[in-house]
Amino acid sequence: MQNLNGKKIVIIGGTSGIGLSAAATFLAHGAKVVVVGRDDEHLLNAQETLGHDAIIFVAEATDSTTAPRAIEIAQNRFHGFDGLYHVAGGSGRKFGDGPLHELTDEGLEATTRLNYYALVYANRAAVRAFLAQRRGGSILNVSSVLAFSPSPKHFATHAYTASKAAIIGFSQAIAAYYAPHDIRVNVLAPALTQTPMAQRATHDENILRYIKTKQPLDGGRVAIPEDLDAAAVFFMSEGSRFITGQVLAVDGGWSVSEGQHHN
């Protein structure tokens, strides 16, 4: 029930990190995938990792035409569309995100567009496609454990946190609305994960010492993208056909651990 044989899946944000790992895993479980990345920097690595079994192209997730284009490619090339995995997003620090009293208007707008608007665009495209096909499918969105378990000393980017919390509310609202159409919508909420976005934190010795007690599972480490793959396969498979509106924290114990700060 948890294989993906014959599933046609679109991954937005799939040329690096969590999305790329999932794309490789989906292929290994029998799916066909269309992968969208935001720039050429990671394109070659994605092509080398996924080979000719995936359709990969570069486009901005914040462009409202990107997800409809990816879904149309899946429908035309693979003759169907069964699932959307929306991973795209990122830190807004370089735009001006931070603690509320330091947050700039530009930081608020850019961070919200990157993390929330892009996801809404993709989810809208997926729902429209499912309704047009007159059969259901699965949407899996990536939020963050920070959406409900803040860490003020090391992770005080309040526009980012708000946008990730909005993903949860949005996902549960559309899960409720579209359940009669057999459209499932669920959320993964990872803690600190080794991705290109996380370079600041994963190279900070103070943060890494904190993570040993905040994410205590498996020796107290930063998550790797592969830690999310099994859950992603489950939510894309028929094994989750009776599950919608749920948030799964893949966080190494973050949300149930106090975490110790070191001077």
DSSP 148-186: TS--TTT---HHHHHHHHHHHHHHHHHHHHHGGGTEEEE
Beta strands in the chain (DSSP E): 8-12, 32-37, 54-58, 83-86, 137-142, 183-190, 247-250
Instruction: Please identify which residue in the block is written with the tokens 């090391």.
Output: 154
Distance spanning both ends of the chain, measured CA to CA: 49
Question: Would 178 be classed as within a structural domain?
Answer: yes
- Cα–Cα distance between 10 and 86 in angstroms, integer? 8
**Cβ atoms 115, 89 nearer than 8 A:** yes
Distance CA 235, CA 19 (A): 14
Could you list the mean pLDDT of each consecutive 10-residue stretch along the chain, which spans 263 residues?
Answer: 91 96 97 93 89 93 98 97 97 96 98 98 98 97 97 95 98 98 98 83 88 96 96 98 98 93 68
Q: What pLDDT does residue 263 have?
A: 61
Domain count, the chain: 1
The angle that helices 17-28 and 43-50 make with each other, rounded to 10 degrees, is 20
| Type of residue found at 115 | N
CATH of the domain at 90: 3.40.50.720
Looking at the domain assignment, is residue 1 inside a domain? no
Residue 188's SS3 state is: strand
Count CB-CB contacts under 10 A for residue 164. 25
Record the pTM. 0.96
- In terms of residue numbers, what domain contains 95? 8-256
CA distance 160 to 166: 10
Neighbours of 175 (CB within 10 A): 19
In a domain, 197, yes or no: yes
Q: What is the pLDDT of residue 233?
A: 98
Q: Which helix (H) or strand (E) holds 137?
A: strand 137-142
Tell me whether residue 69 is in a domain.
yes
Q: Is residue 263 part of a domain?
A: no
Give the full edge-to-edge strand order of the sheet including 247-250.
54-58, 32-37, 8-12, 83-86, 137-142, 183-190, 247-250
How many of the other CB atoms lie within 10 Å of CB of 51? 10
Q: How far is CA 227 from the centre of its chain?
A: 13
**Does residue 90 belong to any structural domain of this protein?**
yes
State CA 101 to chain mean position distance. Answer: 28
